[in-house]
Amino acid sequence: MKNQTYRMTMLFDFYGELLTDRQKEFFDLYYNEDLSLAEIAENAGISRQGVRDVIVRAEATMQEVEDKTGIIRRFEAQRPHLDAIESAAAEMKTINFRRYEDPRLTELADIIAGEISALKE
């Protein structure tokens, strides 16, 4: 994957619900809100190391699930294929508009685009 923060936010998006409330809170503050360990520690009334331990455990939990399931890996592998299908549907719609003006082709291209959008969510 691209970088550490991107990888961690992907893990959180897919597996965040597996974490405890405290892990979710600290993880979100650290990666999504860009707070430092010291800032989180001060707000939570614990040590900087305590915050780091909670975040490291959260990372390990989510990474372990990803290692077992491979859901994110498969999601990332499918993305270029979905983009290609989406692009082909858009091109089909454009060609139809310029040459054929067949309403059924437009309808089918719209269905394909809608299904791709649903898969990307």
Share above pLDDT 70 across residues of the chain, in percent, rounded to a whole number: 98
Global confidence as pTM = 0.75
- Enter the tokens of residue 81: 């294929």
pLDDT of residue 116: 92
Half-sphere exposure of 88 (CA within 13 A, CB side): 9
Measured distance CA(25)–CA(42) in Å, rounded: 14
Q: Tell me the average pLDDT across 2-22.
A: 93
Whether residue 1 has pLDDT greater than 50: no
Residue pair 66/73 in contact by the 8 Å Cβ criterion: yes
pLDDT digits (tens, 9 = 90+) for 13-54: 999 999 999 999 999 999 999 999 999 999 999 999 999 999
Residue pair 18/65 in contact by the 8 Å Cβ criterion: yes
Measured distance CA(101)–CA(72) in Å, rounded: 40
Residue pair 54/23 in contact by the 8 Å Cβ criterion: yes
Measured distance CA(23)–CA(45) in Å, rounded: 15
